[in-house]
A and B are shown apart, each in its own frame.
Chain A
Amino acid sequence: MKHLFGSRNFLIVLFGTLAVLPIFANQYTLFVSNLVMMYIILALGLNLLIGYAGQLAFANAAMFGIGAYGCGLLQVKLGMPFFVAAPGGAVIAMAVGTLMAFPALRLSGIYLALATLAFAQATQWAMLHWEAVTFGAGGFALEPLDFSPLPVSSAIGTFYMTWAVSLGLLLFASFAMRSRIGRAFVAMRDGEIAAEALGIDLLKYKAMAFAISGFYAGAAGALFVPILDFVSPESFDLFQMILHKSMVVVGGLGSIMGSVIGATLLVFLLEVLRDFKSTQEIAFGALLLGFVLFQPKGVVTFIRRWVPGWNEPLHYTDGTKQTKQAASTDEPVATEASEERT
C-alpha cells in the first residue's frame, strides 16, 4: 500500500470531504471552508510566481482586491451578471499582473519587491480614495447570488462554485508545473542567465508567471464577493499580504501540495485568532519568521520525510543563492568549492 498516503489521495480525501460537507455542516463551517478553498487559490497563484518562477513580487493582495472590486463593480455599476463579472474581474487582475512583468525584466530582488509593494499600497489607496469608482472606505454591498434556475440556495451554490473553481485551478497548476513550462519557471528562478542561454524567453515566461498568478488572485477575489456579499478596502491590506506569504512559506515554496496545506492550516489559525488582531499579527509574523529560519522548505518537508509514498516532483527551493556574476567580466570570481567528491 505504498501510495496510501500519496498526495493524490490526500487531495481526493480533502476535496471529497468538502464536497459532502454542506449535508451536515453549519453555516459557519461552510463559511470557513469557503475561505479555505479561496485561500488555496491565492496561495497557489503566489507560489507559482515566487516559489516556482522566483519573481519576488509583493502585489498578490492587490490582485486579489482588483479581482474582487472588478467583479463587484462590474455587477453594481454596469449591471453585469455575476457569471460574467467574475471572470471579468479575474481577467482584469490578470492584465494588471501581466503589466508587472515589464518592470520585472529590469528590476530584480529588492527593487522588484518594493516596487510591487508600492504598487499594492497604491492600489489600496485607490480603493479607499477613488470614491467615484470604488465607493471609498465604506465599501459596497451586493445582493446574494441567485443561482436560479438551479434549485440551490445562495450559500450552497456559492460553496459548490468555489469548490469547482478551486479544484479546477489546483489541477491546472499541478499539471502545468509538471511540464516544460514548470521547468522553464524553475530554470528562471535558479539560473536566469543560463535559462536564457538555453532559449527560455525571459519576458514571455515572466509575463506568463505574472499573468497566471494575477488570474488566480483575481479569481479568488471574484469568489470572495459572494462569500461576504460585501467588498471593502480593508480586506486587501498589508496583513493580507503577510497572510498569503505565510501560507506559501509554511506550506512550502515550490510545492503545489504545500500551498494547499499551508492555506488550510493558516485559515484555521486565522479563525481561531479572529478576535485578537494583535495576536494574529504576532502569530503570523512569528510563523513566517520561524519557518523562514528553521524550515524554509515548509511543512511538506516533514510530510515527505515521514509519510511514505508522498510523491511530488522535486521542485522546491533550497534557498541557494545564485550569484548574478556568471557573466561578469574577467575579474576573478569566487568559485565553488573545488574538492572532488568522487
Chain B
Amino acid sequence: MMMFSYLTATGITTGALYALVALGIVVVYKATEVVNLAHGDLFMIGGFFAYTLHVMWGIPYIPSLLLAVAGSFLVGIVTDRIAYRPLMSQGLVSVLLATIGFSFMLKGIARIVWGGKGDYLPFPPLVAPEPIQFGGIMILSQHLVVVAGAVLVMICFAVFFKTTRAGKWMQATADNPKAATLVGIRVSRVYMYTFGVGAAAAGAAAVLMAPLTLLYPDIGFTLFIKGFAAAALGGLGSIPGAILGGFLVGLIEQFAGGYIDTSVQDVSAFVVIMFAMVFLPNGLLGLRGVRKV
C-alpha cells in the first residue's frame, strides 16, 4: 500500500510536468499542424536558463522562473522563424527534419555552454527537502510545489486562451486559418507567438522540474517523447487530452517501473506511443486535431 501511494504521488507529480510539455506540443500542433521535435530541448534550455540565473548569478527563484520562461518564449520564436516559417509550404518532411536539426544544435550548444554529458547539474529546491507525511504517505514537499506550479500554469493557459484577445486569436487561427486571415488576423504572426507560448510552457515545466531531477542536455528528447506520448494518448489536437494524457503517462511509468521492473520505466513512454498510434488514432478524447478546410 505504501508503494502504491508513493507511486501514485510520484506519478501525479511527473505527470503534471509531462502534461505541461504535452500542452506546449498540442498548442503548437493545433495551430500549425506540425509537431516540433525540438520542443523538449526548449524545456532543456529553459532549465539551463533558470540554472544560470538562479544558481550561477544568484537571482531569487521566482524572478528566475519568470525570466527563464521569457527566455524560452524567445527561443520558441526563433524556432518558428528558423524551422517553421520558411518551410511551412514545403510540407511535413522538411519541417520535421528542420526541427530535428535545430534540436541537435540546441543540445550541442547547451553541452558546450553548461557542461558535458557527464555533468548533471543540481538545482536547489524551492523549499526544504524534508518529506512531509500525509497520513501514511510520504512525499517530498517539492512534489507539491511542482504539482501546484503545473496546475497554476495550466490555469494561466486556460485563462489566456479564453479571455485575452491574443489567446482567442490563436484559437481562431488554429480552427480555421483562412477565416482568420479574412478577419484580419496576421496568421504568420500568430504562429510565431504560438511557438513562443508553447516554448514558455516548456520553460515553466523545466524550472519546476529542475529541483527534482538533475539537469542535463539530453533531457530534452526524453521529455519530448514523454510529452508526445501524453499528447498522443489524449488526442493530438486536444488540450484537455494533453493534460489527461500527461497524468496518465506519469502514472503508467511509475506503475510499470514499480510493479514490473525499474528499467521498464524508461520504455513505457515508447510503448504508449506505439500503442496510441495503432489503437487510439484519435486519442482517448477523440480529437485528432484535423484542420477543417
A and B touch in the complex (CB under 8 A): yes
A129 CB to closest chain B CB (Å) equals 4
In the complex, B49 has a CB within 8 A of chain A: no
Interface of A is mostly: helix
Complex partner residue of A281 from B90, B94, B111, CB under 8 angstroms: B111
Structural contact, B92 and A319, CB atoms closer than 8 A:
no
Residues on B with C-beta less than 8 A from A319 are 90-91, 93-94
* Contact residues, B183-232 vs A (CB, 8 A): 221, 225, 228-229, 232
Structural contact, A56 and B108, CB atoms closer than 8 A:
no
* Contact residues, A128-180 vs B (CB, 8 A): 129
A171 CB to closest chain B CB (Å) equals 27
Structural contact, A288 and B104, CB atoms closer than 8 A:
yes
- 1/0 per residue A102-145: CB within 8 Å of B? 01001101110111011101100110010000000000000000
A289, B81: Cα distance in complex, Å: 12
Residues on B with C-beta less than 8 A from A282 are 104-105, 108-109, 112
In the complex, A25 has a CB within 8 A of chain B: no
Structural contact, B274 and A122, CB atoms closer than 8 A:
yes
In the complex, A278 has a CB within 8 A of chain B: yes
Residues on A with C-beta less than 8 A from B34 are 110
Structural contact, B108 and A285, CB atoms closer than 8 A:
yes
Task: For B29, give the chain A residue with the smallest CB separation.
Answer: A110
A325 CB to closest chain B CB (Å) equals 7
Complex partner residue of B232 from A114, A296, A325, CB under 8 angstroms: A114
Structural contact, A118 and B225, CB atoms closer than 8 A:
yes
Complex partner residue of B278 from A115, A125, A322, CB under 8 angstroms: A115
A110, B94: Cα distance in complex, Å: 11
| B133-141, B156-164, B264-272 - interface stretch | B264-272
Residues on A with C-beta less than 8 A from B86 are 293
Number of interface residues of A (CB under 8 A): 53
In the complex, B172 has a CB within 8 A of chain A: no
Task: For B82, give the chain A residue with the smallest CB separation.
Answer: A289
Structural contact, A103 and B278, CB atoms closer than 8 A:
yes
Residues on B with C-beta less than 8 A from A110 are 34-35, 92, 96
A290, B267: Cα distance in complex, Å: 32
In the complex, A3 has a CB within 8 A of chain B: no
Interface of B is mostly: helix
Task: For B229, give the chain A residue with the smallest CB separation.
Answer: A118
Structural contact, B225 and A292, CB atoms closer than 8 A:
no
Complex partner residue of B221 from A106, A238, A322, CB under 8 angstroms: A238
In the complex, B273 has a CB within 8 A of chain A: yes
Answer whether A320 and B281 are a contact pair too, CB < 8 Å, given A122-B270, A282-B105. no
Task: For B95, give the chain A residue with the smallest CB separation.
Answer: A292
Structural contact, B98 and A292, CB atoms closer than 8 A:
yes
A109, B281: Cα distance in complex, Å: 13
Task: For B105, give the chain A residue with the smallest CB separation.
Answer: A285
Residues on A with C-beta less than 8 A from B82 are 289, 293
In the complex, B100 has a CB within 8 A of chain A: yes
Structural contact, B94 and A245, CB atoms closer than 8 A:
no
In the complex, B103 has a CB within 8 A of chain A: yes
Given contacts A285-B106, A292-B87, 15 further A-B contacts (CB under 8 A): A110-B92, A114-B228, A114-B232, A118-B273, A122-B267, A125-B263, A242-B100, A245-B100, A278-B109, A278-B116, A281-B105, A285-B100, A288-B97, A288-B98, A334-B293
Could you write out 26 A-B pairs with CB less than 8 Å apart?
A54-B93, A56-B92, A103-B278, A107-B277, A109-B92, A110-B35, A110-B92, A114-B35, A114-B228, A115-B274, A115-B278, A118-B273, A119-B270, A122-B270, A242-B100, A242-B101, A278-B108, A280-B108, A282-B109, A283-B108, A286-B105, A289-B101, A292-B94, A292-B101, A296-B90, A321-B89
Closest 7 A/B residue pairs (Cβ): A285-B104, A281-B108, A289-B101, A288-B101, A282-B108, A278-B111, A118-B273
